[in-house]
Structure 1
Amino acid sequence: MKNYTITIDTGTTNTRVYLFNEKYEAVASAKSEIGVRITAIDGNNNRLKAAIKGCLEDVLKQADITYDDVKQVAASGMITSNVGLTEIPHVVAPASAEDLAKAAKSVLIEDVCPLPILFIPGVKNRDGKLDLTTFESMDMMRGEEVETVAVIESLPKGQPYLLVLPGSHTKFVSVDRDGKITGCLTTITGELLSVITNDTLIADAVGHSFASEETYAKAYVLAGYETARKTGIGRACFSARILNTFAEPDKTKIASYVLGAVLQNDMEAVKNSSALKCDADTTVVIYGKNPLREALMDLFAKENFFRHVTEFIPKDSVPTSAKGALHIVSLTEKNK
């Protein structure tokens, strides 16, 4: 009997595959450090195909089952882009979970999986031609939409949200009272932080290390934030070297300072970008690992632009991307 569901989440740098039983409990998982970046480098997706095929076979072996026991395989993330397995057009916001389910496409790729894979599309802010006066309102995502679906499912209904998903590319996703994604905004905060920490003169001041959950220093995060707000990120980051040379020898505190300086750009974007649909009554929900989650909580509280700020902490280790994909699968099954 076909009782199992498999989810595939492929990003820029890695792939995660989960196997779920009929109760939607995770019973096996596999990971590969191959994502769509490999396709961009190689000029073909052969290595990506092999990695995904290997992960699929791995979870089946772990559970001691075969494809005969699997009712559905669903994929989300950059796997649906032009450098993934098959390109699925973005859904235009506003977009609900039902809209994503309707736009999802089943495609058979025999050299990856003997079953058709349900590819879940990403979301983009708008349609139509862009120019220098309209491009800033545009943004897109592949993968964060299923995360958003999962998080929204666990939150009270009937109110607007701004989801904050920090990472190499931090995503801010606005959701209306009906649970529809109305827009997203992307920053490269994680990449900026990595470059500053590892590849600039400031690397010595922070000891070539990021702020951690154990070394997080709120006062220094706020100081970095205020300095960047007043003088810009370039001056604020160089000031980290000044601070370390003349005032604070503890490099872990300087790392917190740099974290605050870099995150100031995110706060400015949220307040001023036309890519998001939110206002002061929107509830901010911050999802992610510390210290980024804690830093963003502190900075949103300091700004006081939004009246309600909270955090989302998953109850288990199953990624929200997989949970969101499962929800989309359930909606497609209802529509059959």
Structure 2
Amino acid sequence: MGRAQRPDRRRPRRFLGLGRRLRAARRSRPPRGLRGHPGRRDGGAPEVRGHAAGGDRGRGGDRPLARPGRGRGRRHAVRPSHLHRPARAPHAALEAGSGKQVLGVSSAAVWHEVECGGYTADLAVWEALADPVDGPVLELGCGTGRVGLHLARRGCEVWAVDADPSLLEALAARAAAERLAVHATCADIRALELDREFGLIVAPMQLLQMLGGGAGRRAALDRAAAHLAPAGRVAAGIVEPAAASLDGPAAALPDLRERDGWVYSSLPVAVGSTGGGVEIRRLRQSVSPDGSLSQEVHTDRLDPLDANALEAEAASAGLRPAGRLEVAPADGYLGSVVVILEGP
């Protein structure tokens, strides 16, 4: 036992022939040539932390990047990201045209909600008119339900009429989700036949100025008068030409909505008079989930009309003036006047 041991028998480096997993621990070697902070076991992707030129990782080397197993499903390709944009889908999503569907909702309903859904300046007027009414309220040109749903939440029974079935579909879905008493009817208000009477009929958002002139407006007033209960009232919002301006810093702010990954923006860019009426131009922009931008200029034209002319036209339908209420301009929307008319 006193003999000197062979140098290679002093301390075994590993147990030979038993497999790699039973290899004895070896002393760690300090990493060299790293520019970033090393992680556990000094592994990881060099493209993340980076190496100095000619750097040495030691005997451990770089661990290979993990690869999906054979049993895993193949993932969809993704376009590489741009310097200033996120990675994109393998192909661009299709843009819905006028009247087409965007994820089950028509583009008309989407833009109506974008441009009208956030407007609240006139709601106090409709509340004050509807609260004393005992019985159902009729809204003409209801759209997606900005006013009708608001009154229904306050306990009113609302009948809502519009000529666009896609807008009514959106309204009905929202009313059902909130369990509100709203009855949606698709009809032309110039030929309305509901076989019932109402203590209040409202026509918000300059509806009477979008009926193609005086003949269409008088037809709508006749049908409204025919649906009035005794001592009932008709209230219509109009924009007078003198009020047609978008003054103030808020006029430069767009209306924005996000829906299912799409972002919609509508910016009022110009307002003016054409043939005595009012023309409002908006820049509509939509951004798809993959970052694609599309835009168009949309124009709304309002027939020339003031409160005195509306009251004179209503007289032919048996309606008499019963007051006016002002709605101030706000958030890029034109100011308006609500003309109140009483039945016989």
Pairwise TM-score range, normalised by the shorter structure: under 0.3
TM-score (norm 1): 0.22
Greater helix proportion: 1
Structure number with greater CO (CA < 8 Å, separation at least 6) is: 1
The structure with the larger Rg is 2
Alignment TM-score, normalising by the size of structure 2: 0.22
